[in-house]
């Protein structure tokens, strides 16, 4: 965790019989604060300050400061309709150096899009705030699919089947979700179009139809189907096409994740007894184990959408589960989450810097967390 800026009041006794004096030390900057860009919100409209402040607090690369201590002043203003303008000012005294604008389907969406523009202008890397999440919630008593904005300040249910629903994943347009459900007795794979609300059957073969994940660069989808006995990887040219079997093993395969360029696929397989991460050849179906060297139980890989050398995964560590990251460049792994609670089911935000994951307590309660992977102190 990063050190907070704090003030230290030190009382020094100046000799027997003399009064105590108080020395006030100035702000002490922690290691995290040294790496962050300090900004203030200038003349920002008060009605949108809370959501902007939350975005800044979540990001990790930025922090709020007083106008006297900030490096940049960012003033968000409401224009016509939902349109937002952002003025960036620097220097002493501060002078405007850049004007940005953004709009969206709602005021909240416009503000988050404007935050993305601000992040890119200040850090040179894309923001992730205008993205969406799809996740499972048992708020109704049954697990259903919900969607929310990136900060989870608003969420809405997308299914209400009252059955078992799981394994949601976005299609590559961001306007639909693949998911698995026994809404019609057996586990089948479906696609929900969020605009038309149409639900299409993608896979309803004999056995368990467990998952569909779409290639980010084409219409192709990877599926996990057990129609031949054990769960195997299948590929289909598009969601409506008949899938072709890719792997031919006696093991159980799960959790496909595409590389950002759509040319590679990693999965979880228990071909050696315990689950490990493998890359599967898209031409032969051959599995190549990725030696994470961190645990004998590794699952739920998620390939970084910006850096093809990195993927996140869940590993059994110290009697629990933690989110880890593997680097193809160094062939090493590192543990990203720590503590008494389990960290699992990692999934990258679209900026390739932030990871969403599920945190689970000893009692089984879960919540969605976000992690800034850029700074170890964050």
- Using one digit for the tens of pLDDT, what is the confidence trace for 57-69? 999 999 999 999 9
Give, in order, the Cα–Cα distances in Å from 58 to each of 19, 55, 117, 174, 347.
45, 5, 16, 23, 16
> Mind listing the pLDDT tens digit for each residue in 213-230?
999 999 999 999 999 999
> Mind listing the pLDDT tens digit for each residue in 235-262?
999 999 999 999 999 999 999 999 999 9
What's the confidence (pLDDT) of residue 17? 37
Cis peptide before 195 (omega within 30 of 0): no
Q: Give CA 87 to chain center in angstroms.
A: 28
3-state class (DSSP) for residue 341: coil
Tell me the whole-structure pTM to 2 decimals: 0.89
Greatest Cα pair distance, the chain, in angstroms, is: 91
What's the confidence (pLDDT) of residue 128? 97
Cα–Cα distance for residue pair 3/30, rounded to 1 Å: 5
Q: Which two tokens stand for residue 118?
A: 């601000």
pLDDT tier at 16 (50, 70, 90 boundaries)?
very low
Phi, psi dihedrals of residue 115, rounded to the nearest 5° = -65, -40
What's the confidence (pLDDT) of residue 63? 96
**Residue boundaries of the structural domains of the chain:** 1-30, 36-123, 132-372
Residue 18 has pLDDT above 80, yes or no: no
What's the confidence (pLDDT) of residue 26? 43
- What is the per-residue DSSP string for 126-143? ---TT-EEEEEE-TTSS-
Cα end-to-end span (Å), the chain: 5
Instruction: State which CATH number among 2.120.10.30, 1.20.1270.360, 3.40.1710.10, 1.10.10.10 fits the domain covering 132-372.
Output: 2.120.10.30
pLDDT tier at 30 (50, 70, 90 boundaries)?
low
Q: Which two tokens stand for residue 370?
A: 């976000």
pLDDT tier at 7 (50, 70, 90 boundaries)?
very low
């Amino acid at each position: 965790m990063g050190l907070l800026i704090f003030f230290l009041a030190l009382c020094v006794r100046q000799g027997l019989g003399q009064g105590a004096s108080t020395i006030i030390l100035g702000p002490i900057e922690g290691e995290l604060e040294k790496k962050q860009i300090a900004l203030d919100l200038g003349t920002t409209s008060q009605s949108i300050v809370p959501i902007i402040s939350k975005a800044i607090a979540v990001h990790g690369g930025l922090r709020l400061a007083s106008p006297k201590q900030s490096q940049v002043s960012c003033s968000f203003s409401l224009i016509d309709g939902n349109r937002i303008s952002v003025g960036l000012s620097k220097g002493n005294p501060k002078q405007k150096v850049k004007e940005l604008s953004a709009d969206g389907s709602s005021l909240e969406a416009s503000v988050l899009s404007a935050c993305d523009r601000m992040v890119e202008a200040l850090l040179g890397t894309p923001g992730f705030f205008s993205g969406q999440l799809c996740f499972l919630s048992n708020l109704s008593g049954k697990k259903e699919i919900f969607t929310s904005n990136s900060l989870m300040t608003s969420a809405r249910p997308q299914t209400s089947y009252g059955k078992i629903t799981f394994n949601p994943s976005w299609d590559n347009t961001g306007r639909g979700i693949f998911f698995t459900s026994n809404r019609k007795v057996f586990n089948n794979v479906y696609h929900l179009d969020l605009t038309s609300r149409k639900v299409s059957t993608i896979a309803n073969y004999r056995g368990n139809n467990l998952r569909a994940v779409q290639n980010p660069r084409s219409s192709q989808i990877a599926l996990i189907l057990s129609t031949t006995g054990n769960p195997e990887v299948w590929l289909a040219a598009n969601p409506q096409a008949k899938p072709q079997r890719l792997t031919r093993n006696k093991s159980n395969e799960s959790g496909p994740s595409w590389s950002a360029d759509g040319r590679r696929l990693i999965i979880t397989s228990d071909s050696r007894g315990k689950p490990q991460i493998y890359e599967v050849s898209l031409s032969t179906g051959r599995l190549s184990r990725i030696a994470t060297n961190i645990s004998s139980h590794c699952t739920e890989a998620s390939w970084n959408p910006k850096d093809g050398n990195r993927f996140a995964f869940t590993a059994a560590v110290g009697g629990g589960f933690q989110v880890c990251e593997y680097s193809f460049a160094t062939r090493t792994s590192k543990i990203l989450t720590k503590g008494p609670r389990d960290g699992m089911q990692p999934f990258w935000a679209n900026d390739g810097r932030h990871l969403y994951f599920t945190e689970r307590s000893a009692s089984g309660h879960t919540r969605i967390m976000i992690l800034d992977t850029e700074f170890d102190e964050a």
